[in-house]
Structure 1
């Protein structure tokens, strides 16, 4: 499968991100990935607040399959690399890798679904938004 698009967003690890063992608490990796997805959409001029208000749609996580490879620690500087694998009618499949230099720390397959804000039911991704997501 050929990736459609990749976006890199930096994250620094703070004490608040770590557990009593001094490593990043497992659920915080999901927070880093969420922030990277938000910044990816912003980089495409897709403001989630505007989409919700104007278009009555929002993107929500439908599925996550995550693999923890190496523990990150306080003050590590990492990158969250988000790659678009596939854009369907109402779902976008992503790979999100958390890296330090070229070393993989965490990898996840994430599916985000486009839903209507009133019904919370799947909604087709509007053509213009889909086109923006497909831009290399």
Structure 2
């Protein structure tokens, strides 16, 4: 799209299905690299990525050549397939349905990047579910508690 200039920064957050702690520290950097490749191959810029055993944050410079929902579908399906092909887990790996997406101005890029890269320290004080609710409330996103994250039935 010639003559189209944008500055769109989006943080996406999504969880492992049933919030299971399946992302192991021994392969999380490989996962970061794989997802970074997906994002870049889709024409976007990875600013920061980090995951905890049960969820992942990515912060991207988003280009409006694709819908966010299409990008997230591709990121989640391709990375799940890759994780399963690598046989990192004994059980089948899946991301939970849905995601959170939050936009930021240029002035917030450093703070959001630092926040994402410091997830390990952050989660010593706050659970993922509390963190996610805080995002929804801070960004004034209406939500239904039943659909935030599903636990095994």
The answer, yes or no, to whether TM exceeds 0.5 is no
Higher relative contact order (CA 8 A, sep 6+): 2
Higher strand share: 1
TM-score (norm 2): 0.28
TM-score (norm 1): 0.30
